[in-house]
């Protein structure tokens, strides 16, 4: 039996997505910038995907910029907006628990003369709104906050953040990293006054190497990639038509009439996993609990810390049983250092290197959870016997 519980890292491509990607690569392989029929056929895929995505966001097709994925979307949003608006000020605000594809652009900007405020979070990972209010000033030009934390699943109060930012100064640009939110909850940028919003295709059963950036009409932002002038000059380079077509199909498959029902089932899977883990000795659940009032979590992420066990050891022991999990964000798990998110929520120091992320997809079942729990329960006594002192 194989149980894949690392869907926050990447999801399996849906069969219909694979079919349309193959169709484009085999038959409709023209360059969408070409004026002949093959080019027009390719361009039709790009336009159709943009329309599907725009419908899901309740925005205009022209507000969708296709990228190579979440990292490029975040870099373009943050660096592009900061550079385009630097005459208005040099102060930027970002939460303290962002993904590396957000943190690193802010560090880059900090090294190049911008002033950055990093907002603290509470014990379940929710950004402190009072800190945001205190940080805003006349030099603030950009605020960035993730919608869903990629390690512990906390849903950030983006609606309140957007309201606070725009009431202070409607010209401040608000960027939301929705990479772990899109496809798991309904994401409507206008509801939280977002000017920029990042999404990645491979988190929603789409292809790797493709994503998009929502850019609200009239938002002042500079391109990062220059050259042929594709996508109205915002991202030069030949469009990844197979990837874009696959992304559109993935969005179409997720945001359908069954969406609410399927997401509610995913929440039940999350609750069942948490209840099962809490029955084991020496396990701490991180983030928002299902019973908590006034806080919210995405339906597909559970973070658990295991006393006296290194995360990497447990990860590979589970791998031997064909259970696949993560010891943190996939984009940072191969780099040294402890999780800044877990540090920010005040997790005990001895648990920082003992935390596993379980993440689900719409096909995850209770049987998958049961197999994982039985395996973990059997492994814990043995692994704790060999813990380093």
What pTM did the predictor assign? 0.95
Other CB atoms within 10 A of residue 146 CB: 27
What is the chain's mean pLDDT, rounded? Answer: 94
What is the domain class of 3-11+258-385 according to CATH? alpha beta
Binned at pLDDT 50, 70 and 90, residue 338 comes out as confident
Q: Which of 137, 145, 331, 361 is catalytic?
A: 331
**What are the boundaries of each domain within the chain?**
3-11+258-385, 15-254
What is the domain class of 15-254 according to CATH? alpha beta
Binned at pLDDT 50, 70 and 90, residue 68 comes out as very high
Binned at pLDDT 50, 70 and 90, residue 292 comes out as confident
* Whether the predicted pLDDT of 337 surpasses 90: no
What pLDDT does residue 334 have? 45
* Whether the predicted pLDDT of 388 surpasses 60: no
Read off φ and ψ for residue 176, nearest 5 degrees. Answer: -125, 125
Reported as a single tens digit per residue, the pLDDT across 202-246 is 999 999 999 999 999 999 999 999 998 899 989 999 999 999 999
Q: Which residues of 275-293 are buried (b: 16+ CB within 10 A; e: fewer)?
A: ebbeeeeebbbbbbeeeee
Q: pLDDT above 90 covers what percent of the chain?
A: 90
14-18, 162-166, 302-306, 337-341: least confident range: 337-341
Active-site annotation holds for 13: no
* Whether the predicted pLDDT of 336 surpasses 70: no
What pLDDT does residue 330 have? 46
Reported as a single tens digit per residue, the pLDDT across 84-139 is 999 999 999 999 999 999 999 999 999 999 999 999 999 999 999 999 999 999 99
Distance CA 251, CA 154 (A): 23
Distance CA 200, CA 15 (A): 18
Give mean pLDDT, residues 158-175: 98
Distance CA 335, CA 6 (A): 18
Q: Which residues of 16-25 are buried (b: 16+ CB within 10 A; e: fewer)?
A: ebeebbeebe
């Amino acid at each position: 039996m194989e149980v894949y519980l690392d869907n926050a890292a990447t999801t399996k491509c849906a069969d219909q997505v694979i079919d349309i990607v193959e169709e484009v690569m085999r038959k409709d392989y023209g360059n969408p910038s070409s004026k002949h029929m093959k080019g027009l056929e390719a361009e039709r895929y790009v336009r159709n995907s943009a329309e599907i995505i725009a419908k899901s966001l309740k925005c205009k097709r022209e507000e969708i910029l296709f990228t190579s994925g979440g990292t490029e979307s975040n870099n373009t949003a943050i660096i592009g907006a900061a550079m385009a608006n630097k005459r208005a000020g040099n102060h930027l605000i970002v939460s303290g628990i962002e993904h590396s594809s957000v943190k690193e652009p802010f560090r880059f900007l900090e090294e190049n003369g911008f002033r950055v405020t990093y907002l603290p979070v509470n014990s379940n990972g929710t950004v402190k709104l009072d800190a945001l209010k205190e940080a805003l000033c006349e030099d603030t030009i950009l605020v960035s906050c993730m919608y869903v934390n990629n390690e512990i699943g906390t849903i950030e109060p983006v609606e309140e953040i957007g309201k606070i930012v725009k009431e202070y100064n409607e010209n401040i640009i608000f960027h939301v990293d929705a990479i772990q939110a899109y496809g798991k909850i309904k994401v409507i940028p206008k509801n939280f006054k977002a000017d920029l919003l990042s999404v990645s295709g491979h988190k929603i059963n789409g292809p790797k190497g493709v994503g998009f950036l929502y850019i609200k009409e009239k938002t002042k932002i500079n391109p990062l990639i220059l050259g042929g002038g594709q996508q109205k000059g915002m991202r030069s380079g030949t469009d990844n038509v197979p990837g874009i077509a696959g992304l559109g199909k993935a969005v179409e498959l997720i945001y359908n009439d069954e969406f609410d029902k399927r997401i509610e089932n995913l929440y039940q899977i999350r609750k069942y996993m948490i209840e099962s883990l809490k029955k084991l000795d020496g396990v701490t659940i991180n983030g928002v609990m299902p019973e908590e009032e006034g806080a919210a979590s995405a339906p597909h992420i559970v973070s658990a810390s295991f006393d006296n066990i290194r995360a990497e050891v447990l990860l590979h022991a589970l791998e031997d049983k064909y259970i696949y999990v993560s010891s943190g964000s996939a984009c940072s798990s191969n780099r040294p250092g402890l999780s800044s998110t877990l540090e920010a929520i005040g997790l005990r120091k001895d648990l920082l290197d003992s935390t596993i992320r379980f993440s689900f997809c719409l096909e995850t079942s209770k049987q998958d959870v049961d197999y994982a729990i039985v395996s973990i329960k059997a492994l814990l006594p043995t692994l704790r016997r060999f813990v380093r002192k």
